[in-house]
């Protein structure tokens, strides 16, 4: 996000995002809580990082031909990042999205000329038409289609090992006790954890998983539960996926939709940071970690995306009432 030079393209604006001390929450928690503002990336989320890295790695390896169609499934943020990269590099983009994806994300994607395939979230995970199973099928049926597979391709994790994590380490001058992040594809928490633990093995890494997802139970009991619906976008999953490296995570906390959304709105009201629901989940987890750690702990987290994707949902009281989540 350095602004002291002219960029050759929007892609050079990815990364180097600010790290901000959350003053009011730090005072309440009696700890130091720092948040990396990933909504400051060009397309408004941390997923810009993996979109650029994964496509460039595939290009260099000769896996993508000029004019190819990139295919992946996404809760919306990766798709937006990919749309930006594809526009600059001359690729087409086809994305599988859940039918519960926020209207704002859908409008953004349509404005960027992304071809959308909607997955029915009422289908069981084992259905060939479910969210996780549909994307590889779409890729196979698409001429010159290349399946990026952000959930299982560890070039996702590598993007954060090479960019997000070194930025955090430098910004914090290496003084970190805990790193807290949501578990979605697993790329962010796993890539950052690997780097930070190489620098200082004492750093504890805490994941956040929404109620209804399978990661919390698998981490604690090694059992795969039956998933159930939840509204928090960008976190959790109904399958075990390859990018979640559980051996690099020290604990996983479970958050309810209601709690995550409440904390998202408190973040805006108390720190003037307008973020998405996964950021509220991460903030709640930071406060839980602070309570357990005791005074003085230094906690770093990721605020993954912008509130402008959720104005009709999380920030809409009518929507919250409809979902039974209004307080």
Q: Report, as residue numbers or ranges, the catalytic residues.
A: 47
Token readout for 17 is 């995002």
Question: Please, where are the H alpha helices in the chain?
Answer: 23-29, 47-60, 77-89, 103-111, 131-141, 155-159, 165-171, 187-199, 215-221, 257-271, 277-293, 317-322
Give the burial string for 6-25 (b: 16+ CB within 10 Å, else e): eeeeebebbbebeeeebeeb
Residue 320 contacts residue 280 (beta carbons within 8 Å): no
Distance of CA 112 to the CA centre of its chain: 20
Please give the Cα distance from 279 to 267 (Å, whole number). Answer: 9
Residue 243 contacts residue 185 (beta carbons within 8 Å): yes
């Amino acid at each position: 996000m350095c602004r002291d030079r002219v960029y050759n393209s929007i892609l050079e604006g990815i990364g180097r995002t600010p790290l901000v001390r959350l003053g009011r929450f730090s005072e309440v928690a009696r700890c130091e809580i720092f948040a990396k503002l990933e909504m400051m990336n060009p397309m408004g989320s941390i997923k810009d990082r993996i979109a650029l890295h994964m496509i460039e790695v595939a290009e260099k390896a000769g896996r993508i031909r000029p004019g190819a169609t990139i295919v992946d499934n996404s809760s919306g943020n990766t798709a937006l990042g990919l749309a930006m990269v594809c526009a600059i590099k001359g690729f087409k983009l086809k994305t599988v999205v859940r039918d519960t994806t926020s209207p704002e994300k859908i409008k953004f994607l349509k404005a960027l000329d992304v071809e959308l395939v909607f997955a029915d979230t009422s289908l069981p995970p084992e259905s060939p038409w479910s969210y996780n199973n549909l994307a590889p099928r779409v890729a196979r049926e698409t001429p010159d289609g290349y399946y990026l597979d952000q959930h299982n391709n560890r070039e996702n994790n590598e993007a954060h090992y090479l960019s997000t994590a070194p930025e955090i380490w430098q910004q914090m001058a290496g003084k970190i006790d805990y790193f807290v992040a949501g578990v979605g594809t697993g790329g962010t928490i796993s890539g950052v954890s690997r780097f930070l633990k190489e620098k200082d093995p004492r750093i504890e890494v805490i994941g956040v998983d929404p109620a209804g997802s399978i990661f919390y139970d698998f981490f604690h009991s090694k059992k795969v539960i039956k998933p159930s619906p939840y509204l928090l976008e960008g976190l959790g999953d109904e399958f075990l996926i390859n990018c979640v490296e559980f051996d690099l995570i020290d604990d996983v906390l479970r958050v309810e939709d209601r709690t995550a959304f409440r904390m998202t709105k408190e973040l805006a009201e108390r720190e003037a940071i307008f973020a998405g629901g996964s950021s509220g989940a991460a903030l709640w987890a930071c406060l839980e970690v602070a309570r357990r750690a005791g005074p003085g702990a230094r906690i770093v987290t990721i605020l993954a995306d912008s509130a402008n994707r959720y104005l009709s949902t999380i920030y809409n009281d009518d929507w919250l009432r409809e979902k039974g989540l209004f307080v």
